[in-house]
Amino acid sequence: MRLQAAEWFAEGVTPPEVARRLRVSSNSAYVWRRRWRAGGVAALASKGPGGAVCRLDGGQLAQGSGRVWVAGLVCLKPGARGHLYYRVRVHRGRKGERRSMSEAGYAGLITAAHQELKAPVILIWDRLNTFNFCSLDPGILPRNGEDRDVSALQHFRAPDGLAPGPGYSHAVTGRGRWVATSGQVALDGEGKLVGPGDPAAQARQVFANLDRALAAAGASFTEVIKLNYYVTDIAMLPVVRTVRDEYVDTARPPASTAVQVTALAMPDLMIEIEAWAVCAD
């Protein structure tokens, strides 16, 4: 999987697009790209098997041509040996079939571990889609990032007395190295306008430019705490949000401000966005 990612990085594919193609988190894709830039393909090569031996039997591994999804949970109880629990799901590509574990599947996994251990279960995960499962939120400690500590960032999506916003946090706080970008517009590497009259095309170019600017400063979208939007027509916001959600962690989104302006620096520009990020020291 990582070697495939390396090939796409060499072709200029962005980390969010790599994450979409491989169905991994954007954060993982950014980490892989940093390693690839630092050490080439060899830096992403597998270092060999680690952890427990696979406990799937031959029947489970031979369930068909569908993709096998495994949700695992390692539980520790003081004074007892560790336990590995897992659930298996096979995606066979049928229309309307869920691709991965459901909320009920994760909940069943947690319940089984809790009942067998007869002790509280604390979950630590790395950007699983369960971030979107409201019923699993209480008591869960998320761990974000593989080699960069962004856990210092704290997002307040719905503080007391404030309604949740559509895809943004009301406040974000953190400690670390600050990175600020200039407002990015829909110009390519040669300074030519991309997508005249097309808000979606311009939004994609703007976010791609933001990605490049952040990467140049050693940052990524996982560390962005604030996005400021300037648009010539506020009706374009839904389109901009759709593109934004391909880049940010929608469970821990940055704060944001959106302003409609009469014009931008060039006549055909429709969108300008600037970003603020806080990186680990």
Which pLDDT band, with edges at 50, 70 and 90, does 124 fall under?
A: low
Q: Which H/E stretch holds residue 75?
A: strand 67-75
pTM, to two decimals: 0.52
Which of the residue ranges 65-74, 164-173, 267-276 has the most confident prediction, judged by mean pLDDT?
267-276
> 111 and 198: one domain?
no
Q: Which H/E stretch holds residue 277?
A: strand 271-279
> 219 and 186: one domain?
yes
Q: What rounded mean pLDDT belongs to the chain? A: 77
| Domain assignment present for 49 | no
> 274 and 160: one domain?
yes
Q: DSSP 3-state assignment of 73? A: strand
Question: What range defines the domain where residue 125 resides?
Answer: 58-142
CA gap 227, 256 in Å, rounded? 5
The pLDDT of residue 140:
37
Which tens digit of pLDDT belongs to each residue from 155-178? 888 888 888 888 899 999 888 889
Of the candidates 113, 110, 153, which has an alpha carbon nearest to the alpha carbon of residue 128?
A: 110
Which pLDDT band, with edges at 50, 70 and 90, does 138 fall under?
A: very low
Tell me phi and psi for residue 272, to 5 degrees: -140, 135
> 138 and 246: one domain?
no
Sign of CA dihedral 159, 160, 166, 170: negative
> 275 and 161: one domain?
yes
| Domain assignment present for 51 | no
> 214 and 236: one domain?
yes
> 108 and 222: one domain?
no
> 169 and 270: one domain?
yes
Q: What is the CATH number of the domain that holds 268?
A: 3.30.1330.40
Domain end marker among 81, 111, 142: 142
> 174 and 266: one domain?
yes
Q: How many CB atoms lie within 10 A of CB 19?
A: 21
For the chain, what percentages of helix, strand and coil (3-state, to nearest 5) are there?
A: 35, 20, 45
| Domain assignment present for 50 | no
| Domain assignment present for 147 | no
The pLDDT of residue 149:
42
